[in-house]
């Protein structure tokens, strides 16, 4: 009888929990005090940190981007013989802002050097550039903010050595930003902090390019600022190169900007060695470099200068070849790669872009060759285009992607001499037809013209 009563109580309790929406998972990942134990030096840091936080309710935080995706970041920030440890966490007894605990390894023990309150609800990334040339890295932490996904905050921390072989950490700057990079903008052999900030507080967005450097007195200053195109919605990539002009070398910064879901363009910012100011190399970049392919600027011809991809027409008169694969429509595009100088662009060469397999192919022909895609064979065909009949004729050569689970992989040895590129999921091979051989297509040409992106 007692057993029946106990069972009845259990059943009623479970029913009430289900009706109230409660969960029996009492140990969710957001409330665990101790993460899974780490090994090695990270494990020692974790043990020391747990002791420091004894009695407190804390939650470790992990950077979401960058090279360091751990709550415990080990890095030699003071150029001694040992790495220091940076720990990201939140203390629910105070607030949800991320905090930074810095630990040093002294006399075979981890001791707390400083505990700093950060500037966000999460850690986006952490980097260690040398921004003043003193051979000691600065600590630059990017924070995810509470109320926005696009705009972030970064903090620059200065590490200074003290006379007793310890070190001090000082906050130099806090800046809102959307994209950042570390590069030598003003050609003084020291990296600068460059950022893009999209200020949408007004009716029309103001897009800023800004650069910061650390001065001899240890302070950080903004040494240049310029307005960018107002239609930037985000920055996809930042690259830089260096060119010579009037016996002076100066840096150029290429900002690959997203305009919409289907278009992007490139802003080019350079350092003027005569005026000691920055300038825009292209005054209307959203018009002159607009493209509907998600391709970044790059040194496409290995000449040391970055080129910009811009859409152009296929020689068949078509703007693109549309292919539907698994419900997604892909557009094969012809792309011109252009050099930039003084608001002018000059073509380097053309390439066709395969968006399904993400590769480029140098396209030197004027009007007698085109491409099509064979979905069944998973291959791109380079074909003769008859300008009189406006029809595709003989295949000259083809580029095929063979997936790892494809039955053709059993005969992979037969393709060893025709491999263009290998990936984690498969391999690219090529085949030249007899028509292609008569046309002058060679193995060297195909291999040298293929560029994986």
CA 345 to chain CA centroid, Å, is: 26
Q: What mean pLDDT do residues 97-119 have?
A: 92
Chain segment 242-277, per-residue pLDDT in tens: 888 777 778 899 999 999 998 999 999 998 888 889
What pLDDT shows up at residue 39?
A: 52
Name the helix (H) or strand (E) containing 46. helix 40-52
Report the range of poorest mean pLDDT among 109-123, 241-255, 423-437: 241-255
Taking CA atoms, 82 is separated from 52, 121, 172, 295, 367, in Å, by: 21, 30, 25, 42, 63
Residue 307 predicted with pLDDT over 60 = yes
Beta strand 450-452 pairing with 359-362: antiparallel
pLDDT of 419 reads 92
pLDDT surpassing 50 at residue 31: no
**Among 108-117, 146-155, 158-167, the least confident range:** 158-167
Q: How confident is the model at residue 17 (pLDDT cuts 50, 70, 90)?
A: very low
Query: Distances in Å between the alpha carbon of 325 and those of 322, 378, 382?
Result: 10, 10, 19
Place 186 in a pLDDT band, splitting at 50, 70 and 90. confident
3-state secondary structure (DSSP) of residue 25: coil
Residues 6+ apart with CB under 8 A from 85: 45, 49, 72, 73, 74, 102, 103, 104, 105, 110
- Decide if pLDDT at 327 tops 90: no
Two tokens, residue 180: 């950042």
- CA separation, residue 159 to residues 29, 76, 162, 358 (Å): 34, 11, 10, 42
With cut-offs at 50, 70 and 90, classify the pLDDT of residue 82.
Answer: confident
Structure tokens, 419: 């491999």
pLDDT tens readout for residues 362-378: 999 988 899 999 998 99
Out of 5-19, 107-121, 169-183, 367-381, the most confident range is 169-183
pLDDT above 90 for 285:
yes
């Amino acid at each position: 009888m007692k057993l029946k009563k106990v069972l009845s109580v259990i059943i009623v309790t479970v029913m009430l929990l289900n009706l109230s929406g409660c969960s029996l998972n009492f140990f969710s990942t957001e409330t665990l005090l101790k993460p899974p134990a780490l090994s090695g030096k990270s494990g020692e840091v974790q043990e020391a940190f747990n002791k420091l936080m004894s009695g407190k309710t804390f939650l470790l935080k992990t950077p979401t981007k960058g090279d360091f995706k751990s709550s415990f970041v080990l890095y030699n920030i003071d150029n001694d013989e040992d790495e220091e440890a940076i720990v990201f966490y939140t203390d629910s007894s105070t607030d949800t802002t991320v905090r930074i605990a810095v630990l040093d390894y002294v006399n075979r023990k981890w001791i707390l050097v400083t505990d700093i309150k950060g500037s966000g609800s999460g850690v986006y990334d952490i980097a260690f550039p040398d921004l003043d040339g003193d051979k000691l890295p600065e600590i630059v932490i990017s924070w995810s903010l509470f109320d926005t996904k696009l705009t972030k905050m970064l903090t620059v921390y200065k590490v200074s050595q003290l006379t007793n072989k310890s070190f001090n950490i000082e906050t130099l700057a806090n800046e809102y930003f959307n994209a950042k990079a570390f590069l030598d903008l003003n050609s003084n052999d020291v990296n600068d902090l460059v950022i893009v900030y999209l200020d949408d507080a007004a009716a029309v967005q103001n897009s800023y390019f800004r650069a910061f450097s650390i001065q001899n007195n240890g302070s950080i200053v903004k040494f240049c600022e310029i307005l960018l195109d107002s239609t930037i919605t985000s920055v996809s990539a930042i690259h830089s190169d260096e060119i010579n002009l009037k016996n002076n070398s100066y840096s150029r910064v290429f900002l690959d900007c997203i305009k919409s879901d289907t278009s992007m363009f490139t802003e080019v910012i350079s350092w003027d060695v005569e005026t000691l100011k920055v300038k825009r190399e292209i005054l209307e970049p959203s018009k002159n470099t607009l493209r509907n392919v998600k391709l970044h600027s790059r040194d496409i011809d290995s000449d040391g200068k970055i080129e910009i991809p811009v859409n152009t027409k296929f020689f068949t008169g078509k703007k693109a070849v549309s292919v539907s694969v698994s419900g997604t429509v892909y557009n094969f595009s012809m792309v011109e790669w252009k050099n930039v100088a003084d608001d002018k662009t000059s073509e380097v060469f053309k390439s066709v872009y395969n968006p399904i397999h993400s590769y480029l192919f140098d396209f030197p022909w004027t009007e007698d060759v085109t491409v099509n895609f064979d979905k069944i064979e998973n291959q791109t065909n380079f074909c003769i285009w008859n300008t009189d009949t406006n029809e595709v004729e003989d295949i000259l050569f083809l580029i095929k992607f063979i997936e790892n689970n494809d039955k053709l992989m059993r005969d992979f040895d037969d393709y060893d001499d025709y491999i263009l590129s290998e990936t984690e999921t498969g391999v690219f091979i090529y085949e030249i037809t007899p028509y292609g051989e008569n046309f002058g297509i060679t193995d060297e040409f195909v291999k040298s013209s293929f560029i994986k992106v």
